[in-house]
Structure 1
């Protein structure tokens, strides 16, 4: 038997990607949180839209909890939400933080998201009871009912768009409820297709080589209770991983040469690897739950550039090979470029954004491993729970940054036993052919680190001499608690 393995939007906001900022009104005093709420419509279709909500603290004291509330006009409802606890009283909705995204430190952000059935936009927005636009809050009669039913428990993963969500325009909708139906839908998907998973367990080898386009993305969506499991691997593997007849990779979901996909809401569990992207650019992963995986949780590989993973939960990885159980893996080690180096001999999984995820506990290797030869990614607003880091294969930090030009900001990391922990963030400078200034030019801002009395530095820079002309930068906005050595081993930039 195999081992278990993102409020307020005005009526003027109608365009995809539109964002509206709000600033809370607070009394003048020496130290106080000031919360700014930005809502971005990340998808719009004929009968609804999806929105990400970012709550940023521009004040000088932490906010220890938040509730965003608004009214929707009759005919529009919130069909799903994630990374928050939702309550409703009539047409007024409130969204309260869950356990892992309630603290918003100065300069940091937290996020949640929702989908709307209907095209009506919110009104009467408040954050923590104060008007988002700076005026008075709504009358008490308009506030959410304390007895309203919340959304499902936040202790598990955030829920993405459910199968009943209206599809985006531009292609057919395929509803699936069995593993065979899912395999068929993945193998025949056309640009614009939406594959909707019903709740249930899907066991099999789920892979696709079907590309979407920038104007007609392919979507695989389902509730958290739609669970993909691969009981493989089996058969004889090719010399380099590629979908091959008679071989089951063991991957929970595999996109190979399949750009422009959306993966939202569902769960991947009990597989050799969780979600693997090979040569699959512009893929967005949102609100998924990946857990109990033998090796790494999510891997952007073979130049799977310009991807996003956001508002997702990854935990319990590396159950069989602890040193290889990364939460999110960006690129490939130089020693693997012979297989995965499809861009001038290099795996250029560049510009990947890792946003507002919870990674850990019991991620046995690094929570995010940024491999050599990758450039210009963004690691922002994530929560790292270091319990269970194994220490095997030098896996002893939340992030190992061997890439170039990454922005690492507004993340919160903690460590507590059990586990082996040395530093919160580390850099390394492996030599590669072709040659890059690996592990250089990265920037840390406004990260909050609690090293549990065990870790040495929040941010340890391995070398400055190897980064001449492209130094790593650690800003004074980073904070550390319970470190045996301090914030960082290099000079701090104001």
Structure 2
């Protein structure tokens, strides 16, 4: 039954309804949250979506939990507005790959999972902060991505290397991180931090004058080891001007495979190595604390020359010969190495270095 309302009352009712907000008369659909500066994710699918659509200035913040799958970032930040991927140590990336048929030179390809825990490909100006990568073929791979800063990561239990700056990923940083238990499947490729690429791989990874110019990478205040199967830091030929500073190298578990028998192997040019602390104890194969080598490449560089060491403390555990072993002095006559007297050594079978010491 429909009730009649007297004219005066009807006017009052109509006026009152007109004053009400629209939502009171008909509830509206909840607003769509814009893709703002902070994107919160807590599932693998959300993380993949956020990486795929990331924009300069955004922060992708992972909740605690395990994220399984292939996580690839191909979006560029800028110097003024980098993109940040952040999470607590309990936000853990795991990749059960590889799977599918990949290209001869690694590149993100439909139907192929590289097995990398996190892969930045053509993605400059990213900050990677705080989270964990484990149980993957490789840990963090940075390809053709300049100005990537990784801070406070934990990379462990990976089949090959922990963190790789590759394909001319210059001006990067890896600091305040822990890298351990690498090379579980391929010990000879189990470096903690890998800078550049071997000259034999420049056909794939060389995109700057034929070389992999992953130059000026800062490796700072990390703990690398134990059970890093190859070098804690492998500096490849054709790279220039990096700094390896304030790190702790634990050589337990280094395998000696693929000539990996030192904390740091320098084949790059004009590196500064300072303020690091290295130790060795069994198990493992250990020849020297720091080594240089001079591979020939085309184009030609003064590979393995011009390194400066200062304020490094080395304990070779009675197994290693020199704290700093210069493989060839004559090949670096135009760009000599400098070993300062501020470096110290304990329990070496031969001594501090095989070259004259500079005050």
Query: Normalising by the residue count of structure 2, what TM-score does the alignment of the two structures yield?
Result: 0.90
Give the match for residue 334 of structure 2.
Answer: 469
Between the aligned partners of 1:479 and 1:224, the Cα distance in structure 2 is 34
Give yes or no for the alignment of 1:346 onto 2:211: yes
Work out which of the residue numbers 292, 299, 304 in structure 2 matches 1:434: 299
Between the aligned partners of 1:216 and 1:437, the Cα distance in structure 2 is 36
Give yes or no for the alignment of 1:324 onto 2:324: no
Q: How does 1:414-433 map to 2 (within 5 A)?
A: 414-433=279-298
Between the aligned partners of 1:457 and 1:217, the Cα distance in structure 2 is 42
Give yes or no for the alignment of 1:245 onto 2:110: yes
Give the match for residue 389 of structure 1.
Answer: 254
SS at match of 2:165: strand
Mapped contact 1:171–1:192 kept (Cα < 8 A): no
SS at match of 1:271: coil
Give the match for residue 279 of structure 1.
Answer: 144
Q: CA deviation at 1:340?
A: 0.4
Between the aligned partners of 1:282 and 1:208, the Cα distance in structure 2 is 14
Residues 183-206 of structure 1 deviation map (CA, whole Å, 9 limit, x = unaligned): 000000000110000000000000
Bigger proportion of residues as strand: 1
Work out which of the residue numbers 41, 47, 50 in structure 2 matches 1:182: 47
Bigger proportion of residues as helix: 2
Mapped contact 1:375–1:405 kept (Cα < 8 A): yes
Q: How does 1:44-443 map to 2 (within 5 A)?
A: 172-443=37-308
Task: Give runs of ≥4 in structure 1 deviating > 2 Å.
Answer: none
Between the aligned partners of 2:236 and 2:272, the Cα distance in structure 1 is 14
Between the aligned partners of 2:157 and 2:295, the Cα distance in structure 1 is 30
Q: CA deviation at 1:237?
A: 1.1
Between the aligned partners of 1:428 and 1:475, the Cα distance in structure 2 is 19
Residues 196-218 of structure 1 deviation map (CA, whole Å, 9 limit, x = unaligned): 00000000000011000001000
Between the aligned partners of 1:352 and 1:191, the Cα distance in structure 2 is 22
What is the root-mean-square deviation in Å for CA atoms of aligned residues?
Answer: 0.8
Residues 269-322 of structure 1 deviation map (CA, whole Å, 9 limit, x = unaligned): 000000000000000000000000000000000000000000000000000000
Q: CA deviation at 1:171?
A: 5.4
Q: CA deviation at 1:265?
A: 0.2
Is there any run of 5+ residues in structure 1 with no aligned partner, and where? 1-169
SS at match of 1:186: helix
Give the match for residue 7 of structure 2.
Answer: none
Between the aligned partners of 1:435 and 1:220, the Cα distance in structure 2 is 38
Count the aligned residue pairs: 325
Between the aligned partners of 2:73 and 2:241, the Cα distance in structure 1 is 27
Residues 226-250 of structure 1 deviation map (CA, whole Å, 9 limit, x = unaligned): 0000000000010100000000000
Residues 101-132 of structure 1 deviation map (CA, whole Å, 9 limit, x = unaligned): xxxxxxxxxxxxxxxxxxxxxxxxxxxxxxxx
SS at match of 1:183: helix
Between the aligned partners of 1:468 and 1:474, the Cα distance in structure 2 is 15
Between the aligned partners of 2:183 and 2:148, the Cα distance in structure 1 is 24
Of structures 1 and 2, the larger Rg is shown by 2
Residues 413-472 of structure 1 deviation map (CA, whole Å, 9 limit, x = unaligned): 000000000000000000000000100000000000000000000000001111121001
